[in-house]
Structure 1
Amino acid sequence: MKVTITTLLLVFSFLALTGCSKATEPQQADIAVFEQFLSENPISSINPSIDIASIYQPSDPLFESVLYIQRNLWAEAKKQLEPMAKNQNPDAKFWLASITWGTGIKNNPIAKKLYMESAEQGNPYAALFFSPKNDICQMYYSSECSEKWVEKAQKLFAEQAKTGNVRALYYSTILKPDLTHEEYIDAVIQSAEKHYYYPLVEYSNNLRKAEDSNQEMKELAIELLNYARFNNFVPAIESLMKIEGKHKRMNGSIYKELMTQGISLGANYAWRGYRILSIEDDSLSEKEKYIAAKATELFNGDDFAISFTHPPKEKEALIAANNKAQEKADSVKRVIYIDGAHVPEG
Structure 2
Amino acid sequence: MKVTISTLLLVFSFLALNGCSKVTEPQQADIAVFEQFLSENPISSINPSIDIASIYQPGDPLFESVLYIQRNLWAEAKKQLEPMAKNQNPDAKFWLASITWGTGIKNNPIAKKLYMESAEQGNPYAALFFSPKNAICQMYYSSECSEKWVEKAQKLFAEQAKTGNVRAVYYSTILKPDLTHEQYISAIINAAKNHYYYPLVEYSNTIINEENPDKDMENIAAKLLNYARFQNFVPAIESLMDYEGKYDRTNSKLFNQLIEQGMTVGSNAAWKGYQLHSYKSSSLSDTQKYISAKATKYFNGDDFTISITHPPKDKKALIVANKKAQEKADSVKRVIYIDGAHVPEG
TM bucket normalised to smaller: over 0.9
Q: Pairwise mapping of residues 162-311 of structure 1 onto structure 2 (< 5 A)?
A: 162-210=162-210, 213-311=213-311
On the 8 A contact 2:10/2:342 being kept in 1, the answer is no
Q: What's 2:37 paired with?
A: 37
SS at the partner of 2:249? coil
Return the alpha-carbon distance in structure 2 between the equivalents of residues 14 and 72 of structure 1.
22
Deviation at 1:243, TM superposition (A): 1.1
Q: What's 2:78 paired with?
A: 78
1:225/1:246 CA distance change after superposition, 3 Å: same
Return the alpha-carbon distance in structure 1 between the equivalents of residues 259 and 188 of structure 2.
26
Deviation at 1:344, TM superposition (A): 1.4
Deviation at 1:275, TM superposition (A): 0.5
Deviation at 1:246, TM superposition (A): 2.1
CA deviations 1:83-111 (Å, max 9, x no partner) are 00000000000000000011111100000
Deviation at 1:15, TM superposition (A): 5.0
On the 8 A contact 1:15/1:341 being kept in 2, the answer is no
1:211/1:259 CA distance change after superposition, 3 Å: closer
> Greater helix percent: which structure?
1
Return the alpha-carbon distance in structure 1 between the equivalents of residues 29 and 10 of structure 2.
32
Q: What's 1:26 paired with?
A: 26
SS at the partner of 2:206? helix
Letter in 2 for 1:62: L
Q: Which moved more, 1:115-124 or 1:135-144?
A: 135-144
1:80/1:195 CA distance change after superposition, 3 Å: same
Q: Pairwise mapping of residues 43-58 of structure 1 onto structure 2 (< 5 A)?
A: 43-58=43-58
Which fold has the larger relative contact order, with Cα–Cα distance below 8 Å and residues 6 or more apart in sequence?
A: 2
Return the alpha-carbon distance in structure 2 between the equivalents of residues 228 and 303 of structure 1.
30
On the 8 A contact 1:154/1:176 being kept in 2, the answer is yes
CA deviations 1:141-169 (Å, max 9, x no partner) are 11111100000000000000000000000
CA deviations 1:58-92 (Å, max 9, x no partner) are 02100000000000000000000000000000000
Deviation at 1:208, TM superposition (A): 2.2
Return the alpha-carbon distance in structure 1 between the equivalents of residues 247 and 345 of structure 2.
22
Letter in 1 for 2:168: A
SS at the partner of 1:221? helix
Give the root-mean-square deviation of aligned CA atoms.
1.4
1:132/1:269 CA distance change after superposition, 3 Å: same
Return the alpha-carbon distance in structure 1 between the equivalents of residues 146 and 174 of structure 2.
18
Q: What's 1:64 paired with?
A: 64
CA deviations 1:226-276 (Å, max 9, x no partner) are 000000000000000111122222221111100000000000000010011
1:154/1:206 CA distance change after superposition, 3 Å: same
Q: Which structure 1 residue ranges, 5 or more long, are not aligned?
A: 1-7
1:113/1:14 CA distance change after superposition, 3 Å: farther
Return the alpha-carbon distance in structure 2 between the equivalents of residues 26 and 46 of structure 1.
27
Deviation at 1:20, TM superposition (A): 2.3
Deviation at 1:41, TM superposition (A): 0.4
1:15/1:66 CA distance change after superposition, 3 Å: farther
Return the alpha-carbon distance in structure 2 between the equivalents of residues 12 and 269 of structure 1.
19
Q: What's 2:97 paired with?
A: 97
Deviation at 1:13, TM superposition (A): 5.8
On the 8 A contact 2:174/2:184 being kept in 1, the answer is yes
For these two proteins, the number of residue pairs brought into alignment is 339
Return the alpha-carbon distance in structure 1 between the equivalents of residues 239 and 117 of structure 2.
34
Return the alpha-carbon distance in structure 1 between the equivalents of residues 60 and 82 of structure 2.
16
Q: What's 1:143 paired with?
A: 143
TM-score by length of 1: 0.95
- Calculate percent identity across the aligned residue pairs: 81
SS at the partner of 2:200? helix
Return the alpha-carbon distance in structure 1 between the equivalents of residues 311 and 211 of structure 2.
49
SS at the partner of 1:103? coil
SS at the partner of 2:23? helix
Q: What's 1:4 paired with?
A: none
Return the alpha-carbon distance in structure 2 between the equivalents of residues 14 and 191 of structure 1.
14
On the 8 A contact 2:9/2:344 being kept in 1, the answer is no
On the 8 A contact 2:208/2:243 being kept in 1, the answer is no
TM-score by length of 2: 0.95
1:284/1:258 CA distance change after superposition, 3 Å: same
Deviating 4+ runs (over 6 angstroms): none
On the 8 A contact 1:11/1:344 being kept in 2, the answer is yes
On the 8 A contact 2:13/2:342 being kept in 1, the answer is no
Q: What's 2:3 paired with?
A: none
SS at the partner of 2:11? helix
On the 8 A contact 2:154/2:171 being kept in 1, the answer is yes
Q: Which structure 2 residue ranges, 5 or more long, are not aligned?
A: 1-7
Return the alpha-carbon distance in structure 2 between the equivalents of residues 228 and 345 of structure 1.
23
